[in-house]
Every structure is written in C-alpha cells, then in structure tokens.
Amino acid sequence: MRLSTGAWRAASPSSPARTGIPADHGSFASQHQVEPYTEGELDGLAQTFWPDHCVQHSEGAALHPLLKQQAIAAVFHKGQNRIIDSYSAFFDNGHRQKTELDGWLRGQGIVELTVLGLATDYCVKFTVLDALALGYAVNVITDGCRGVNLQPQDSSQAFMEMAAAGATLYTLDDWRETQA
C-alpha cells in the first residue's frame, strides 16, 4: 500500500507502508494447520487465516521495483507483532498499538493523503478509515487498488464504505486532472 500527498509531483513525499510479516505470524493458516481463508480468532479478535504472504526478507515483502525510489521520503512497517494482524498502516487490528506513520505525517505537516495499493478490501480500506478518523483528508485511487475479494463484491463494498466515511474516490486520470 502506498500513502502519498501526490507521489506524481516531484515536490511531494511518498511514504509506502510495507508489510514484512514474520514467517511464524499467527494470522497465517499454516501456523494453525487450517486451510487459508478459514475464520477463527487471534489474541481475542476475529481473524481470517491467510496464506503465507509478504514474509519478511522475501520478494513478496519488497517494494515494487517500478516505484520511484528517489520520491520515497520514509517507509513504515506494519504486521510486525506475531499475535495480532495489522491491516491498517496506522494501527494493529485491535487498535492496541499505533505505527509511527501518523506522527511522521503530522511532523511533515501533511494533512491530505492519496492512498492506493493492496488489498482494497482489507489494508487499503482500514488504512483509509483510520486516516479519516485521525482527521486526514483522504483520496483513494481506485484503479491503483486490487482486492482479495473473498466475496465477489468485497472491493466494491470497501470503496462504498470509504466514500461513506468521507474519502474521495478517483481514477488515476481523474486525480491527475485535479492536480494540474
């Protein structure tokens, strides 16, 4: 997932939130000997058990090679705590622990975010909802997102939830027009 105040403008910082999940993370189905996408509980919270993904130090946890590395001002890590999942770039799923992202954004004077990435119906959605709750203006680039879609309409539903909470949804082309 990528958070930005305008990553396509040279003067704007980009700050990806990168998931580098420990190989023995409790959200992985392999840690519970269950099939991926099985529902259960992890540290007292409802949990979908996922296929192993974005494992620390693996290709799956790397930033995409086409990202303009010189435009990246900071990278924030989530999913580090083995006993609680972290969909949002701001908090773990129980809102027990906050990442450093909010403090960094406020320190930079950033009040508006542009969000795109994976997965629409989980990480993007919860990052956007938390950003709105923290007082940020949020733009979502819909064609820059892809969902898991355990149910066929999950991504569409996630976009509707984000918009209802106050996010502005754009295609990349439409967003670029607003930045001209």
Q: What is the pLDDT of residues 65-105, one digit of tens each?
A: 888 888 888 888 888 899 999 999 999 999 999 999 999 99
CA-to-CA separations, 31 to 20, 42, 156, in angstroms, rounded:
17, 11, 31
Residue-wise pLDDT for 167-179, tens only, equals 999 999 999 999 8
Q: What is the distance between the terminal CA atoms of the chain, rounded to a whole angstrom?
A: 24
Q: Tell me, what amino acid is at 154?
A: D
> Nearest Cα to 123, choosing from 88, 79, 76, 158?
88
Q: Give CATH superfamily name and number for 2-17+65-179.
A: Isochorismatase-like (3.40.50.850)
Percent of the chain with pLDDT over 90: 73
Cα dihedral sign for 167, 172, 177, 179? positive
- Per-residue pLDDT of 101-122, as tens digits, reads 999 999 999 999 999 999 999 9
